[in-house]
Structure 1
Amino acid sequence: MTRKKMLIAGGVCLLLLAVALYFYMGTNKDTARRVRRNMPEVRVQEVVRQDMQRHIVLSGQTVADASINLAPKYNGRITAVYADLGDHVEEGQVLMVQDLGDLDISIAQNSAAAGAAWADAREASAAYNANIISKRNAYELAKAKYERQKYLFSIGAISQDTLDSMEQEFSASRAAYEVLANQVADGGAAAVQSKELTAQKQEHATEALKKQREDMILRAPRAGVIVYRSAEVGALAAAGTKTFVLVDNSHINIDCSIAENDAAILQPGMAVKVTIDALGRDFTGKIIFVSPAMEEGAKSYQVRISLEEADETVKAGLFAHTAVDIMQKPQALFVPKEAVLTRNGQQYVFVLLEEDKVEQRSVKIGLLNDESEEIIEGLNEGEKVVLTNQDKLRSGMKVKVAES
């Protein structure tokens, strides 16, 4: 083979080697690119110790200090109405009067009957006192005679028949006196007490009628505003039927419902700032009540907030909301909720190791809030936990860490 042919053959070999090397390197680059494309991209967060807080949102409606339905206690025709819709009324102010004519007649009749019964009692008392005095005197006289007759009989001055006759007279006098004397109990004779009790019964009946008369005059139980009225002069008011509604807005509360986890943290006395959207204003308030028991129907707990500086612009039924930040635990180790996964009742997280590899690690959970979960076992401060794409991960897998 000539030198020229040898050079040509060498050049062809070099060319083929270069082409092979080019395709080899390109294939490796594509493979590496495909590997990088197939690596899950994850966001991570470093675990550090800091104060763990719970953010509790409270929302509800404004509630008047009192909203009272007023209704007559008895049936009766309305003779006068003294309150109109929107009127401010004071405690004890008369709102409505029902027909009192028949009651006034009954009260007069019962009062007269009570007076007559007391007169009968006094007459009975006088008669009893006179009678018992008479019987006592007769008994004492008969007793003295009998004692004297017993002495005369002992000396033979009288016969047995005479003594027996005097003894019978004495026994009759004693029996008549004891019948009256034994009627006395608690300082009074039975016949007199019966008359007195009849008089008292008549007096109680009169008082009951007077109470009924008073109940037929409907009065405001407290100061407030009349927000409902269905009473008209001449109409028949039925017992128990609402005729007025009285609302006392002098003090405003807000009733809210919260979940059990929040109920365990909130305490009466906590100060809050309440926003009422309809008024575009904030008001200072204080939590005054946290229900000690869950409401069965709603499966929640009731919380009441008292507004401290509410004015007349704040009406019942307005939507209001506030929020409370409460320290759960100082310098706790916690992670976002999305970092914690559960499988077969076991909680775990993925931890980012060196060379961007991940490790599945079991953890023990402590306190919870809406955003975070405390880690009391399984993680150390300074480690990084994965927040996304955990369903694509397994221990030892390499990942691509997204930029923060």
Structure 2
Amino acid sequence: MKKSLIMLIAAVAMASCASNSTEKSESTTSTPSAETAVLVKTATAEVQTIDLTEVYTSEIKPYKENDITPAVAGLHIDKIKVDVGDHVRQGQVIVVMDQTTLKQQELNLATMQDNYDRMKPVHEAGGVSDQQIVQLENQLNLQKEVVENLRKNSTIVSPISGVVTARNFESGDLFASMPILHIMQINQLKVMANVSEQYYTSVKVGHPVEIEVDLFPGETFNGKVTRINPALDAATRTFGVEITIPNGKERLRPGMYARATFTMGQREAVMVPDQAVQKQAGSSERYVYVIKDGVAEYRFVKDGRRVGNMIEILEGLEAGDEVATTSFTRLMGGKKVEVKNE
């Protein structure tokens, strides 16, 4: 009897232990694990003073250019003294025309002058009518103009200092309508920009402009506004601005594609690193993750100007807001985060 009682007590104790073990196991299984926080790096939205810049594209043009064309057609070219690529000075003789026609017309002028000189006393004596002497005088004056024009065009000088960029004839050719040479002044260059009408009162003569070209990436050339068109284009609502660029070393060339950057003023702006601003898939909207009290908040923003690796936020953030700059693929609104900026 005593032995049976002991065995019963042992059985009850074992059942109790098994029950407690099962309850603990079930309790452990049913309790969810703590949420794992996402490690992120962050940056703080800051107010910065930014330049208000506008960029306009255009083609670089020579400061001056001239076609070298004699005023008299039908003459042979005796000698062209320069070639493409040659630098010339203002006033330098660059083309000599054939002198045969000039010499013949000078002989004709001398003959007509002698004839007039002989007939003038006869006219004064009444032997020649007024009409005849006036006709002789008109013919003489006309011949003087012909000779003077030929003399002016017998040697042609460069009207500007520059470089020869085209040659259309050879020595001995008969001059036709096409220019013999084309000369460009390139120690200074100019760019024409069509600027938005909202900046008409901001742009003045002397306004500095930065010029960039693809041939020299990362390098800027300094220019300044030298002329402003007083009238606006009614169709485009822009006004023309001429920018002059010093080019003493002639690194820039006419025909290059240029970007002209104007600084129109400054303003205070809320700025964040550009990697903090993400693009909403399938739309043009931008968003950031604002980190507050260890939680990521999904927030739409309106971005503005880019300055280096920073971007302006026009709407959606205030100075002092902390935004995520990493781990975007693992973030979502309400997600717990751990900031680690070291």
Q: How far apart are the structure 1 equivalents of 2:110 and 2:87?
A: 38
Alpha-carbon distance change, 356 to 198 in structure 1, aligned in 2, over 3 angstroms: farther
Q: What's the CA shift for 1:219?
A: 2.3
Q: Provide the C-alpha distance between the structure 1 equivalents of 2:190 and 2:271, rounded to a whole number of angstroms.
A: 33
Q: Paired residue for 1:132?
A: none
Report the residue type matching 2:189 in the other structure. N
Q: 1:22 pairs with 25, 28, 32, which one?
A: 28
Paired residues of 1:63 and 1:252 also in contact (CA < 8 A): no
Give, in whole Å, the separation in 1 of the partners of 2:109 and 2:159.
30
Partner of 2:189: 253
Structure 1 residues 399 and 71: alpha-carbon distance in aligned structure 2, compared to 1, 3 A threshold:
farther
1:368 aligns with 2:308: no
The residue matched to 2:137 in structure 1 has which SS? Answer: helix
Q: Residue 59 of structure 1: CA displacement? A: 9.5
**Is the contact made by 1:61 and 1:316 (CA closer than 8 Å) also made in structure 2?**
no
Percent identical pairs in the alignment equals 14
Q: Residue 321 of structure 2 is aligned with which of 383, 387, 397?
A: 383
Secondary structure (helix, strand or coil) at the match of 1:206 reads: helix
Rounded to whole Å, the distance in 2 between the matches of 1:81 and 1:70 is: 11
Unaligned runs of 5+ in 1: 129-190
Residue 150 of structure 2 aligns with which residue? 212
Aligned counterpart, 1:109: 108
* Structure-2 change in CA distance of 1:344 and 1:115 (3 Å): farther
**Any stretches of 5+ residues in structure 2 without a counterpart?**
none
Structure 1 residue 291, shift from structure 2 partner: 6.9
In the alignment of these two chains, the number of paired residues is 320
Output the TM-score relative to the length of structure 2: 0.62
Distance 2:225 2:100 in 1: 49
Return the structure number with greater strand share.
2
Do the aligned residues in 1 keep the contact of 2:208 with 2:262 (CA within 8 Å)? no
Match of 1:400 among 329, 337, 341: 337
Matches for 1:34-183 after TM superposition, within 5 Å: 36=36, 44-53=42-51, 65-66=63-64, 68-73=66-71, 74-83=73-82, 89-109=88-108, 112-113=111-112
Question: Residue deviations 1:68-123, cap 9 Å, x none?
Answer: 44344423223344446666544333333233323433344356447756877886
- Return the match for 2:16 from 10, 14, 18: 10
For residues 269-326 of structure 1, give each alpha carbon's deviation from its aligned partner in whole angstroms, at most 9, with x where no partner exists.
Answer: 4286989988x9x8984424587679x9xx9987745237x34x75746989999795
Alignment of 1:285-304 (within 5 A): 285-289=222-226, 304=243
Q: What is the letter of the counterpart of residue 382 of structure 1?
A: G
Q: How far apart, in 2, do the equivalents of 1:116 and 1:284 lie?
A: 66
- The equivalent of 1:175 in structure 2 is none
Corresponding residue SS for 2:76: strand
Change (3 A) 1:344 1:291: farther
Query: 1:285/1:326 Cα in 2 relative to 1: closer, same or farther (>3 Å)?
Result: closer
Q: Do the aligned partners of 1:75 and 1:239 also contact (CA within 8 Å) in 2?
A: yes
Match for residue 356 of structure 1? 295
Cα shift at 1:402: 5.8
Contact 1:271 1:285 in 2 (8 A): yes
Structure showing the higher helix proportion among its residues = 1
Q: 1:49 to 1:19 in 2, by over 3 A?
A: same
Which residue number corresponds to residue 307 of structure 1? Answer: 246
Please give the alpha-carbon distance, in whole angstroms, between the structure 2 residues aligned to 1:302 and 1:45: 41
Deviations along 1:1-35, whole A, 9 cap, x unmatched?
Answer: 7211211111111121222123223xx11xx44xx
Q: 8 Å contact 2:301–2:313 — kept in the other structure? A: no
User: Does the C-alpha gap of structure 1 residues 196 and 258 become closer, same or farther in structure 2, counting only changes over 3 Å?
Assistant: closer
Choose which of 294, 308, 332 in structure 1 pairs with 2:269.
Answer: 332
Separation in structure 1 between the aligned mates of residue 10 and residue 174 of structure 2, nearest angstrom: 132
Question: Quick one: distance in 2 between partners of 1:374 and 1:262?
Answer: 22
Residue identity matched to 2:20: L
Counterpart amino acid of 1:211? N
Query: What displacement does 1:52 show?
Result: 1.7
